[in-house]
Amino acid sequence: MVFTSTPIESQPHVVGDRKSNYGTYVNDSGSTGGDIDTGMKVCQTLILQPVGAAVGANVPKVNETFPADGDAVTIVTDADESGIWIAQGY
């Protein structure tokens, strides 16, 4: 089972007194989630948007209590689901 998460930008964008970053997540070989490194010290919000041709059976979930450690925000998805994430924090 393989899960990967890749930020699109190398550093989060500063928005007021908060930061924002986004990237992609990919599950394959039956993987159902993993940890997203947002590039921030603390993550206050994480939005997940699945992508693909088929409708997913379940909504992807963030398996954390916010605010969370920004370098390891755990998500749970359907097997082999891929998508886009958007994070805000500091």
Instruction: Assign residue 9 the CATH number of its domain.
Output: 2.60.40.3940
| Mean pLDDT to the nearest integer, 5-11 | 78
- Give residue 5's pLDDT: 84
The token duo for 50 is 């699945």
Name 18's Cβ contacts closer than 8 Å, sequence gap at least 6: 44, 88, 89, 90
The token duo for 25 is 């997540």
Number of domains in the chain: 1
- Give the tens place of pLDDT for each residue, 33-81: 999 999 999 999 999 999 987 777 899 999 999 999 999 999 999 999 9
Whether 6 has a pLDDT exceeding 90, the answer reads no
Q: How confident is the model at residue 21 (pLDDT cuts 50, 70, 90)?
A: very high
- Give residue 52's pLDDT: 83
CB 9 within 8 A of CB 22: yes
Q: Which domain holds residue 20?
A: 2-89
Q: Which amino acid is at 34?
A: G
